Amino acid sequence: MRCGTRLMLVVQPPSVRVDVPSTTPHEEHMLERMTMLENTLARLAERLEHALKLLLRHSETAYSNHALVKSLIEMLNECGVVDNGKLESMWRDECKKLKQAGQNQAKKTRKVKRKATTSG
Give the pLDDT of residue 114.
74
| Whole-angstrom distance, CA of residue 23 vs CA of residue 100 | 61
Q: How many folded domains does the chain comprise?
A: 2
Contact status, residue 36 vs residue 43, Cβ threshold 8 Å: no
Distances (CA, A) of 39 to 28, 32, 51, 75, 89: 17, 11, 18, 54, 52
For 16-38, how does the pLDDT look when each residue is reduced to its tens digit (9 = 90+)?
666 656 778 888 889 999 999 99
Q: Is residue 9 part of a domain?
A: no
Query: Does 66 map to a domain?
Result: yes
Residue pLDDT, tens place only, 42-66: 999 999 999 999 999 999 999 999 9
Q: Collect all residues with Cβ–Cβ distance below 8 Å to 84 and sequence separation of at least 6.
A: 73, 74, 77
Say yes or no: 60 and 103 in one domain. Answer: no
Could you tell me if residue 32 is inside a domain?
A: yes
Same domain for 99 and 120, yes or no, is yes
Q: pLDDT tens, 52-110?
A: 999 999 999 999 999 999 999 999 999 999 898 899 999 999 999 999 998 888 888 88
The parent domain of residue 63 ranges over 25-82
- With cut-offs at 50, 70 and 90, classify the pLDDT of residue 112: confident
> Do 31 and 55 fall into the same domain?
yes
CB of 85 closer than 8 Å to CB of 73: no
Q: Is residue 92 part of a domain?
A: yes
